[in-house]
Structure 1
Amino acid sequence: MKNYITVCFLLCCAWLSAQDKNPLLADPTIFENEGTYYLYGTKGAKDVDGEGFQVYTSTDLKNWKKPAANNGFAFKKGDGYGTTGFWAPQVFKYNNKFYMAYTANEQIAIASSDSPAGPFKNDGKPLAADVRQIDPFIFFDNGKIYLYHVRLENGNRIFVAEMENDLSAIKPGTLKECITATKPWEDTEKVKWTVTEGPTVFKKDNLYYLLYSANDFRNKDYAVGCATSKSPHGPWEKPDSPFISQSLLKYPGTGHGDVFYDKKGSMYYVFHTHFSESEVAPRKTAIIPITLKGKQLSIAKGKNIIWLVL
């Protein structure tokens, strides 16, 4: 009995140690380039000076480190648009250049760089919009560019619009609503201002998959659903239950992440959780293997959360 207690204590200490070394990024995304994985997200660690988007790198998805350049920031306040509220970046490659779509001052901006590690910079202007908008995700399909994003009007609602080829603006007349909270699991607290956010889109066998988070991020029931459509514009068929949630993973506040693939082509979802059962922030960063069978996206059988460790 004494040996059993000792083993449990050591395992608990090891788990707590791993959490202490977590990157503590919310709204995370992972971008792979030439064998290196780049992790970005909304900064949560209070002991990190500066505002903007930190970047961590790894070659094995297990051990992560912060680049020395720019104190580990891929984009820092002053490098372009924004003075506060640097949230939810997405990094992609387009026309042999790297781009970062991000939120600042509750507007969307796009910065560019010659390296996925940054520094990303722009001219200090956001995309033109008549409402507050956040959580950009840019998707390329059949020669067109789509901006999936959240508009803050009568709730957090997910929209899509086609973009100009130079990424400077959305095309007039193409804006269309995709997702708003209508299912019971998407609004467990019965609030007036419902929330659907954090869109990620991919395509498989001519079917479009839109992953999104629902409920307020401070709600323990924050969770991820996967809607499908035969068109990038929708209409979207939404699930009756989430495929990533507290009830499935046993951690509160699971959501707002991105799909990525490892070097072997295995599929993952990177996301954040609450810091603990009693504290929301700083949110912790994790990945989990997922699988697509038929048209059903789910957590890979027998797989558990993998906490990212520095």
Structure 2
Amino acid sequence: MKKIITVITSLCVFIACSQDKNPTKATTETVSKNILLADPTIFYDNGMYYLYGTTGGDTPLNGQGFMVYTSSDLKKWSGPAGTQNGLALKKGDAFGDTGFWAPQVLKYKNKYYMIYTANENIAIASSESPLGPFKNESKKPIIETGKQIDPFLFIDEDGKKYLYHVRLTNGNRIFVAEINDDLQSIKSETLTECISGTLPWENTQNVAWPVTEGPTVLKHNGLYYLIYSANDFRNPDYAVGYATSKSPFGPWEKSADSPIINRNNVKQNGIGHGDVFWDKNNKMHYVLHTHFSESGVSPRKTGIIDIDFSDNKIKVDSNSFRFLSTQ
């Protein structure tokens, strides 16, 4: 019996020593976590990518403003990295106290601007850094009548600036208006409707309030491209299409190829509402969100997919889709 006990004791000591010298994979492996931002946008500046979006569900800092994540290669992400406990814009520093949705960040006259939705209206804040703090001293919306969401600021080659956005009127309809140089107000006489949900793929549930939203506008070979999402975001058929025009005001011709990003070609439910960006190699991508899972919508997950122009059409590499995560 004594010999047996001695052998067992020696074996235990050997195992313990082995574990000390060779930590198991489980204790050394870094666990990746999906980034949970909806309506995302990626801004590239001085070798760094900055990711912003709408928080939701039980996500930390939900409803407190806008978080920002950073990456130097679009693969390894860190954050939240905002200057205010992870936030680039904090509630109280700018317009709004609820419903912080769909930010866009751009650089204009050596300053950084964030245009965003809060209280179902649109405001713009500024900062000296993409990490914030973004502030809006006026704390007023750009348009003070009605309800509007999902802003996108487009600056044309001639310097004119246009605010594409969604107005909540008999559906989510995409409008455009020229915006003044101070970026704080629009030229109301230029307000023009662009598109609404009229096609079968844009309203698969045949609801009375059709949705077109999340506009992004590009210009390529003299043609304007309006990329948008359609259907309610809770609908698995939420998807991305585009329209083209020879003028920033339209009329817009919807592409027969739409939807170009949907659950049939990317195999994810509720995929859409993102933004176009170019990486450091001038390669074109679209950042977007999906449903959390097959059975749950929120919190929505963030991913990117490669897109490009081909014969004046937007083409999507569905095999390039991947989720973004922190490590």
TM-score norm. by structure 1 comes to 0.92
Q: Aligned letter for 1:98?
A: Y
Contact kept in structure 2, 1:25 and 1:40, CA below 8 Å: yes
Q: Work out which of the residue numbers 62, 65, 86 in structure 2 matches 1:72.
A: 86
> How far is 1:247 from its partner?
0.7
Runs of at least 4 residues of structure 1 off by over 6 A? none
User: In 2, Cα distance between the equivalents of 1:24 and 1:248?
Assistant: 22
Match of 2:193 in 1: 177
Secondary structure, in 3 states, of the residue corresponding to 2:261? Answer: coil
Give 1:122-141 correspondences, 5 Å limit.
122-123=136-137, 124-141=139-156
Contact kept in structure 2, 1:200 and 1:210, CA below 8 Å: yes
User: In 1, Cα distance between the equivalents of 2:99 and 2:273?
Assistant: 16
> How far is 1:47 from its partner?
4.3
Secondary structure, in 3 states, of the residue corresponding to 1:46? Answer: coil
User: In 2, Cα distance between the equivalents of 1:85 and 1:183?
Assistant: 29
User: In 1, Cα distance between the equivalents of 2:241 and 2:61?
Assistant: 34
Give 1:228-307 correspondences, 5 Å limit.
228-240=244-256, 241-300=258-317, 303-307=319-323
Identity of aligned residues (%): 62
User: In 2, Cα distance between the equivalents of 1:68 and 1:170?
Assistant: 29
Offset from partner CA, 1:261-299 (integer Å, 9 cap, x none): 110011000000000111000000000111110111121
Q: Work out which of the residue numbers 29, 34, 47 in structure 2 matches 1:22.
A: 34
Secondary structure, in 3 states, of the residue corresponding to 1:305? Answer: strand
Contact kept in structure 1, 2:82 and 2:88, CA below 8 Å: no
User: In 2, Cα distance between the equivalents of 1:170 and 1:248?
Assistant: 38
> How far is 1:68 from its partner?
6.2
Superposition RMSD on alpha carbons, in Å?
1.2
Rg comparison, structure with higher value: 2
User: In 1, Cα distance between the equivalents of 2:159 and 2:42?
Assistant: 24
1:111 aligns with 2:128: no
* 5+ residue gaps, structure 1: 1-16
* 5+ residue gaps, structure 2: 1-30
Q: Aligned letter for 1:293?
A: S
1:56 aligns with 2:69: yes
Q: 1:75 to 1:226 in 2, by over 3 A?
A: same
Secondary structure, in 3 states, of the residue corresponding to 2:188? Answer: coil
User: In 2, Cα distance between the equivalents of 1:154 and 1:45?
Assistant: 28
Secondary structure, in 3 states, of the residue corresponding to 1:269? Answer: strand
